Structure 1
C-alpha cells in the first residue's frame, strides 16, 4: 500500500464514528426482539452489532462525504467514459469520447471536431479499455487512454479537466481491442492490439485470399498521440499488458489457424501468448530495419512466428486465451484460458532467457491452476492473492499465486481460497490500484454482463450489473449492486490522492487555442468584446457570458451564411457552467468557467431563432437568452 493510501486510512477514527454509532444503535434495536425478555444486549452481542455497523459505515458514503477512489468506466458501445466514486458507486461524470453528446456539445463544437480529426464525422464508438498513464509503475493522474474497437481509434483524456484532448485513427489494422500503457520508467508508449486480420494494403486486392491477411500490435507515442511503430503478428490479437521493466509487453492471441470462420478458427488445441521485446523493436526502428504499408509512413517490423522473428516469442497456452494481467509485484503475466478452466502463469524473469534462445517457450510457464469454467480476467491484491472472473460459473475465484506455483511443481496444496457468486456472467474485474505497484487490496469490481433478476425490469433491454466486493478481509464480501448501461466492459480504479482536477479552466488552455488564435486574427479580445465579424458568407459572432447574461442580446445574419458562435464564460465561480443552444438548428454546447467554446452551423432558414443558456446557472437562468435574426436571402 502506498504512503498516500495509508495517510487516508489513518484519518479514519479507531472508535465508532457518529454514523457507526447510530448504525450500531439501529442494529441493537433491530436485534432486541431476539435477545430475550429483558431486551438488553450482552457485551458480546453489542460488540458484534458494533462491528457490523462499522462494516456498513465503511462502505456507506453519506451526504457531504467523498469517496476514496475514482473509477474510470468504459461506456462500451455508448462510446463514452464514465467516472464513478468508490465505494459509493455513485456516477460522478460522463466524458464523451467517441460518441456525440448534446449536453456538452462534444462532436458538435469546433474544438471537439478538431480533436476528433479525421474521424470527426463518425458518430459512434465501442469504448473498451480505459487505462491511466504511469510513472515508475504508479498512476500519475495525467491521462486516461481508451480504445474504440468499431472505428479503430485510440483517444486520450486529460485528467485535469476530464475532457478528451487527442484522438488517433490507427492505420493498417481493424478493430483496436486490448489496450495498456507502458508502466516503467513512465508511459512513453500506449500498447494496443489490432484484432481482425485484413489484406495489406486493404485496397480491394486479395479479398478472398486469407493467406494474405494479417494484423498488428500497435505502439503509440503517448505524449504526441502519434504512431511510433507496428509489429506484424500471426493470429488475432486480443488483450494486452506490460511488465514493470519497460522491456516487455504481452498479448493474448487466438485463431492461430488464421481462419475466417468459427470452424476454421477452432482446429488447434492451443493458441498463444505473444511477447514483444520493446527494446529490440525500438533499436530496429532506429536502425531503419523496417518497412511501411501503402500510404502509411508508420514503421512496421515483422514479428510473425512463421518468420522466426527476433522481436516476438509465441508461448503456447490453452485455446482462445482472453485476458492478460501483470501481477503488481512485477513477477508474472497471467493469461486467462476462457475455453479452458485454467489460467497460465508466466514468469517474466524467464523472458530474457527465452529471447536469448536458452530456454523454450513453455519453460516460462510456472503455474497453470484450474479455477473453474470460463476464466476471463485476473486482478490482484497486495497479499499475494489473485481474483479471476469465471464467466460460465458466474463466480469470482480467489486464489494464491504462490500456492498455484507450488501445486504446478507437484506439491499437494489448495490454492483456491474462496469462490463468490456474482450476478451474472462476469467479464472484466479490477481491484483498487491493482494494476500498479500500489495495489492495496481493499475493493474489487466485478463487471457482469447480465443482471436478469437483480433490478426492476425495463423491457427487453435490461440494465447490466456492476458489483462491488470488499476484499480487505479473509473472505470476499459482496457489498453493492449497481445497474449500468451498454456496457460494463472494463474499468480502472485510482486512489483520489493521485488525481488533481482543476476547478476552473485556464485562459491559455490548448483545447481552445485555435479558437483564441482566430479571435486574435479578427482583432477580438475574448474577455471583453461582443461583436460580429463578417467575412463574406462566413460570420463569426463573439460574445461573453456571465450569469445571468450573454454579452449580446441579439445578432443578425443572412440566410445561407455559415455562422460560428464563440462564447467566453467570464464567471470565476466553480460550478457556474453556461450553455449555448439555438432553437431549431441542432446547436448545443457547454462553456465552463473561464472556457471559450465555439460552434459552426448554417443559417439555412430565415426568421427569429432564440438562443439560450441550457445549463442552470442563476436564479434568472430562464431569462438568459437572446435572438438570432436571420434575414431572408
Structure 2
C-alpha cells in the first residue's frame, strides 16, 4: 500500500520528505483521480523516477545522430537567438541579432552594420519571442522573427544561413514585447505589441496627463520589414497571437486602470483581451482612412473602445499569455493574477463584430481554474492544453473540451495532471504547437530560477530549461539544462522544415554591398588581391583558401580609413576562415564562398599582424599577414 508521504506529482525532495507544495499538490491530484479515474497519474516517488528514466532512455540522441527538431531559443538580455537540438538539448549555434559578437564579427563587420545601421548606438537587446514564418498554418522554414523589447525593434533571421538580415525600429511606441505571426494564407504580417503607454507627441510636455497616453498594436510587412499599420488601444499590451483564417489577431491587455504604480495596476478585477479585425484595418488603410503621427508615415488607426477595428473582451486579471489552439478554434488568455485561463471561441468573433451578441463576454466558452500564476499555454494536438503556473512552480495539463463542458455546468473534471517544475516557469512550448501540425511529443518549460539544481557559480545563478515527454498520458521530466539570462521563450520546428545552405552562393544578398563596391573598383572578389587607394580611404581586397591569405602584406598610412574585404574560396562545408587584426578591435568570420568586410582606422604606425581566428587547417597558425602603417 502506498504511503501518503510517498505520493508525488513531480519530483520528491531528496531528504525523502515532501514539500508543503508537493504535499498539497499531490493531495489535490489524488482527489481528482478519485473522481475521474485518474488515480494512475498519482505516482509514488519510485514510479515517477522509473517513468522519467524510461523516457530518457527512449530518447537518447547518440553521438553522430541528428535531433528530430530545431529549437530556437530567445537569448533574452544577450540579444541573440540560440539554436538547440531537441530532444538532445545540445546547443548547435548562436545567432547574434541585437548584440555584438566577436566570434562572427556581428556588430563589427560592414555587412552586420548594414542590418543594424551604421549609426547604431545600441549595443544591447532584450530578445523575447522567436517565431517561424508559416504558409497555410504550417512552418515554412523561411524566416524567424524576434523582438527587442529594450530598444523597440523587430528582427528577421534568414533560416537558410541562420543570419539576421533585417531589423526594423517601430516608430511612435516603446518596448515591443509580444510578437506572433499571421498564419494563413502565409506570414504576410508580423504582429507585435508595444507594451508601455507614452504621450503623443512625446516631446517633454504634457507628461502627467494620462488621458493623452496610449500604446499601439503594430503590423510589420514580413517581406519588406516596413511597418504596415499601427492601432491605438486602451491599456498596456502584453502578448498576442493570430487565428487560422487570417481575419483576426488577439492581444492580452493589462493596466486598464492606466496606473503608474504597482498597486494601481491591480485595482480592476478584469482587464481585456483585445481582438483586432485585420480585414477592416487593411481596408481602412487602403482607403486612406487613417492618420500619421509626427515624422512617421506609418498609417495609425484608433482602435480604442467603440472602434470598428477592435473588440474588448473582459478577462481576469492582468492577463499575460495569449495562445491559439492548433485546431484554430480558440484564443486562450492566461489570467496571471487569477487562477484561470479564459477560452475565447474564434467562431463567435464574426457575430461579436457584427453586433449580434449581447456583450463581449458572450464569446467566452470556458474559464478553467488551474492554479496560481497561470502565464502561458501550449498544446499537444490531442485536445489537451498545458499551462505554466508561475507561483505554484507547476505545469497543469488539462483537457479543453472538458473545461468547456464544466463551464456549461456539467460535473466533469478537466485537469489531467500537474507536474512540478523548477522553479517559477514562464513560457512553455510544445513541439510544432503554433502550427496545424502540433504533434504532442515534447514540451519545453523555461523556468526563471534554478536554485540548487546545478553547481553553484556565484551570486548570479543560471536559469533552467526543462524538457518533458508529453507523448503519453503522463508528463515525464527527462532533462534539466542551465541557461544564461534570460531564455524567455522558444519554438520547436521539425528538422525537415528547415533547409540550410552548406556553403554560400556567390550572389547571396547578404554581402551584396561588398560586391557592389568591388564592381565600382573594377575588382573580381573571387580572383583579385589588390589594394585600392581613394584619398585617405583604402580598400584591401584579398581571397583566402586554407591555410593562407592570398595577400600577406599591405601598406597604408597612419590615419587611413581601411576596409578589408576577404573572400573565402574554399568550397568544403566547415572550412570557415576568420580575419582578426591585432590591437584594432577587428574580427570576423568568413564561411565558405562568403565575402565579409570590416572598416577601421589605421591610427597606430608600425607593423600589425592579422591572422585567421577560425581553426581551418593543420597549418592554421601559419595563416597570417601584416599591415604596415607608415607614420604620418
TM value normalised by structure 1: 0.91
- The answer (yes or no) to whether the contact 2:55–2:476 under 8 Å persists in 1 is no
Contact 2:335 2:374 survives alignment (8 Å): yes
Counterpart in 1 of 2:626? 627
Question: Per-residue deviation at 1:205?
Answer: 2.2
Q: Secondary structure at the match of 1:527?
A: coil
- Tell me the secondary structure at the aligned position of residue 117 of structure 2: helix
| Residues 373, 390 of structure 2: 8 Å contact kept | yes
CA distance in 2, matches of 1:51, 1:257: 47
State the 1:550 CA deviation.
0.3
Equivalent in the alignment of 2:220: 220
Instruction: Report the Cα distance in structure 2 between the residues aligned to 1:248 and 1:362, rounded to whole angstroms.
Output: 17
Local SS of the residue matching 1:280: helix
For residues 180 and 51 of structure 2, the distance between their equivalents in structure 1, rounded to whole angstroms, comes to 40
Deviations 1:30-84 (A, max 9, x none): xxxxxxxxxxxxxxxxxxx999987444321010000000000000010000000
Q: Which residue of structure 2 lines up, in the alignment, with residue 402 of structure 1?
A: 401
SS of the equivalent of 1:433 reads coil
Q: Which residue of 1 aligns with 2:154?
A: 154
1:332 to 307, 330, 336: 330
1:174: how far off? 0.1
Distance of 2:404 and 2:119 partners within structure 1:
47
Q: Aligned match of 1:345 in 333, 340, 343?
A: 343
CA distance in 1, matches of 2:53, 2:182: 42
1:84 paired residue number: 84
SS in 1 for 2:398: strand
Distance 1:203 1:474, change over 3 A: same
Whether the aligned pair in 2 keeps the contact of 1:398 and 1:416 (CA below 8 Å) is yes
2:272 counterpart of 1:272: yes
Aligned residues of 1:119 and 1:169 also touching (Cα < 8 A): no
Residues in 1 aligned to 2:237 and 2:163: alpha-carbon distance in whole angstroms: 29
Q: Within 2, Cα distance between the matches of 1:461 and 1:568?
A: 41
CA distance in 1, matches of 2:213, 2:244: 33
Unaligned runs of 5+ in 1: 1-48
Distance change (3 Å), C-alpha of 1:53 and 1:409: closer
- Correspondence for 2:512: 513
What is the alpha-carbon distance in structure 2 between the residues aligned to residue 371 and residue 53 of structure 1? 28
1:143 matched to which residue of 2? 143
Q: For residues 560 and 117 of structure 1, what CA distance do their matches in structure 2 show? A: 24
Deviation string, structure 1 residues 494-525 (Cα, Å, up to 9, x no partner):
00010000000000011110110000000001
- For 1:548-604, what per-residue CA distance to the aligned partner results, in whole angstroms no more than 9, with x for missing partners? 000111111101000000000000000000000011000010000000000000111
> Given that residues 210 and 260 in structure 1 are in contact (C-alpha distance below 8 angstroms), is that contact kept between their aligned partners in structure 2?
no
Q: Secondary structure at the match of 2:112?
A: helix
Q: Which moved more, 1:113-122 or 1:544-553?
A: 113-122
- Cα deviation for residue 119 of structure 1 reads 6.3
SS of residue paired to 2:427: strand
Cα distance between partner residues in 2 of 1:202 and 1:413: 52
1:72 matched residue in structure 2 = 72
Unpaired segments ≥5 residues, structure 2: 1-48
Residues 459 and 534 of structure 1, relative CA distance in 2, 3 Å threshold: same
Partner of 2:36: none
How many residue pairs get aligned? The number is 583
- Output one character per residue of 1:454-473: Cα deviation in whole Å (capped at 9) or x when no partner: 00000000110000000001
| Distance in 1 of aligned mates of 2:538 and 2:52 | 65
Cα RMSD of the aligned pairs, angstroms, is: 1.3
Q: 1:184 to 1:207 in 2, by over 3 A?
A: same
Is the 8 Å Cα contact of residues 383 and 441 (structure 1) preserved in structure 2? Answer: yes
Distance 1:118 1:587, change over 3 A: closer
**Kept after mapping to 2: 8 A contact 1:118/1:169:** no
Match of 1:33 in 2: none
User: What is the CA–CA distance in structure 1 between the aligned matches of 2:110 and 2:354, rounded to whole Å?
Assistant: 52
1:146-203: per-residue Cα shift (whole Å, max 9, x none)? 0000000000000000000000000000000000000000000000000010111212
TM-score, scaled relative to structure 2: 0.91
Correspondence 1:424 to 2:454: no
Partner of 1:58: 58
